Structure 1
């Protein structure tokens, strides 16, 4: 028997999809207000999508992908992430304030700069 979900008990997949929407919006440097305006909905509706309390229709998700310049598959990678604790911790890091800032820096860096950043991060992250 399928479990009943509602706004007080959202479906875990809706929560994950909302988190991906928030990540894509943050990576695009777009506010909830701006995304809502582009979609012709309120920023409160964007908040509900991002929290998973309201489901995102397929057509609305396609519009989000187009506006945020992401492939639609970006939003459906949640299945693979759910299979691995390590992937979930990766998603937590990327969605943090530091993670988002690093992603923006990497997005603006040349390949040579990305290599330097990666080498530096490996050195800093080495234990002891």
Structure 2
């Protein structure tokens, strides 16, 4: 089945790749060489004509020295009821800034977590 138009997520991913690539001073050829594709393929990614697979996204991120969240569009563009909760976005930010923190928090008891939350709110 042939697609007649690009999906908004594919367009956003392509635009973000292009912005970050240019900010890093790389050409499409530089990026293509680094991830093992042709510069035409990079053009198609940036235009949203071709979708970026997860493995390619990781290779692109490594070349651009970027985090996948820098390239993926905000969750609001792919809304899900969970993502609309304020604590969910906060948890994402905490996780991306310190991925080891949340597993450590799981070790705490409910009362310890409650105490920690009250202390955090006092300093916010």
Q: What interval of TM-score do these two structures reach, taking the shorter chain for normalisation?
A: 0.5 to 0.7
Indicate yes or no: 2:70 matched with 1:78. no
| Root-mean-square deviation (Å) | 2.0
Question: Which of 12, 34, 41 is the aligned partner of 2:37?
Answer: 41
- The 1:81/1:25 distance shift into structure 2, 3 A limit, reads farther
Show the counterpart of 1:17.
13
Could you tell me how far 1:27 is from its partner in structure 2?
A: 0.9
Contact 1:62 1:72 in 2 (8 A): yes
SS in 2 for 1:62: helix
Could you tell me how far 1:39 is from its partner in structure 2?
A: 1.1
- The 1:18/1:5 distance shift into structure 2, 3 A limit, reads farther
- The 1:77/1:12 distance shift into structure 2, 3 A limit, reads closer
Return the alpha-carbon distance in structure 1 between the equivalents of residues 49 and 13 of structure 2. 11
Deviations 1:74-101 (A, max 9, x none): 0124334789xxxxxxxxxxxxxxxxxx
Structure 2's unaligned 5+ residue stretches are: 80-124
After TM superposition, the score normalised by the length of structure 2 is 0.57
Contact 1:17 1:78 in 2 (8 A): no
Could you tell me how far 1:24 is from its partner in structure 2?
A: 1.0
Aligned pair count? 79
Q: Which has the larger radius of gyration?
A: 2
After TM superposition, the score normalised by the length of structure 1 is 0.56
